[in-house]
Amino acid sequence: MKQVLVRELIGESLREERVAQSRTLREVSKAARVSLGYLSEVERGQKEASSELLASICSALDLPLSVVLNVVSEKMSMYERVTPLPTVRAVPQAAAA
């Protein structure tokens, strides 16, 4: 199973929202006051954005940061569910003694 990184899910979620708004990288980078190249790298999951930068990008998208983090959390939980969790068995008290 491929290991998924939080920065990749954040970037994916930001890009999905930008595209849903029919906005260009240039428009959002200008509004967020971040270079177009850097925003592109964040969206592709190549750069780890600081909380300040994420807040600025979310503001430019008129999207609460909490919404992005919730989406990322949901996506991460889907990846984690793919791998079966190990079975944990309680040891009976009589056997433990």
Long-range contacts, 25-31 (Cβ 8 Å, 24+): 28/57, 28/60, 28/61, 31/59, 31/60
pLDDT at 96 over 90: no
- Please report the pLDDT score of residue 38 as a whole number: 97
Q: What is the pLDDT of residues 35-68, one digit of tens each?
A: 999 999 999 999 999 999 999 999 999 999 999 9
DSSP-derived letter for residue 62 is T
Fold (topology level) of 6-82? 434 Repressor (Amino-terminal Domain) (1.10.260)
Domain boundaries, the chain: 6-82
pLDDT confidence band for 12 (50 / 70 / 90): very high
Does the pTM exceed 0.85? no
Supply angle C-alpha 41, 80, 69, rounded to 5.
50
What local confidence, expressed as pLDDT, does residue 1 receive? Answer: 54
- Residue 83 clears pLDDT 90, i.e. is over it: no
